[in-house]
Amino acid sequence: MDGIALGLFLLAAFLGGFASGLAGFAMGFVVSGIWLHLISPVQTTALIVGYGLWTQGYGVWKLRQALNWRNVAPFIAAGAIGVPIGTFLLAYVEAAHLRTGVGVLLVLFSVYGLTQPALRPVRAGVASDASVGLFNGLLCGLTGLPGLIITIWCQLRGWTKDAQRAVFQPVMLGAIVATAISLGVTGAVTSDTVKLYVLGLPAMTGGLWVGFKLYGKLDDVLFRKVILWALMLSGSALIAVQVLPLVRSNWE
């Protein structure tokens, strides 16, 4: 990796950490847009999972005072059931088409949310939370996206910014731990990947620290807008990944 490539790699790590510190998710979408041009897809996936353990773990620790494990438990328990089901369904579902569909829904939800002064909070119980956790795990198993459904659900519940992150960050951490175990078993983590991880860790940590500093200055209204914009960018990225190759092939 030459100097320019290394600089881009570290810049992506910093921006990914910043996104995670500020919004609590979207690190993978930020870094993959650059890393996939520099390193292999397998290395990119392994690094996103490895850094996800750090960024989500740090986020959970920072928000430990707001954690209520009784609220989080239904999401994690049901998600643990959904992940293997989603993985099983990979053999029968076209994941690329599913990602595109999820991307369209994210963009539509974000546009709707940004055009509304406020969304009326949804009242729900343990059964509803568990259902959301199940579908969140199912989508994670199918697409590798650990927190999009749970993030939207937290927005719909109308919770404060700390309450939202105290739910969706532990849920995402649980899904990432399961994915990390799977990657370790399959031998996807190589010595070169570990070297890249160590190399990018200071930049990722620096971005995470800056993001959390800015997060502390956000009120609930601004945090809602940050989440909606992050969801819109995530949805746009999912659509672009599927559409751009088709556009290029038509031009060639």
Q: Count other Cβ atoms within 10 Å, centred on residue 121.
A: 11
- Give the Cα separation of 180 and 60 in Å (integer): 18
Extract the tokens encoding 220.
Answer: 């609930």
CB under 8 Å to 193, separation ≥6 — which residues?
Answer: 43, 46, 47, 50
In the chain, what are the domain boundaries?
A: 3-251
Q: Which residues of the chain have pLDDT under 50?
A: none
Nearest to 136 by CA among 122, 144, 146: 146
- b/e string for 216-247 if b means 16 or more Cβ within 10 A? eeeeeeebbebbbebbbbbbbbbbebeeeeee
- Give the Cα separation of 211 and 158 in Å (integer): 22
CB under 8 Å to 97, separation ≥6 — which residues?
Answer: 242
> Which pLDDT score, from 0 to 100, does residue 250 have?
67
- Give the Cα separation of 183 and 173 in Å (integer): 15
Q: Count other Cβ atoms within 10 Å, centred on residue 77.
A: 15
- b/e string for 156-191 if b means 16 or more Cβ within 10 A? bbbbebbbbbbbbbbbbbbbbbbbbeebeeeeebee
Q: How many CA atoms, within 13 angstroms, populate the side-chain half-sphere of residue 245?
A: 6
> Which pLDDT score, from 0 to 100, does residue 243 have?
76
- b/e string for 35-54 if b means 16 or more Cβ within 10 A? beebbeeebbbbbbbbbbeb
Distances from the Cα of 75 to the Cα of 49, 52, 68, 84, 128, angstroms: 20, 19, 12, 15, 9
- Give the Cα separation of 170 and 220 in Å (integer): 20
> Which pLDDT score, from 0 to 100, does residue 248 have?
67
- pLDDT, one tens digit per residue, over 64-113 is 888 888 889 999 999 888 888 887 887 777 767 777 888 888 888 888 88
- pLDDT, one tens digit per residue, over 229-242 is 988 888 888 888 77
> Which pLDDT score, from 0 to 100, does residue 252 have?
62
Which residue has tokens 């940004």?
114
Nearest to 163 by CA among 146, 175, 150: 150
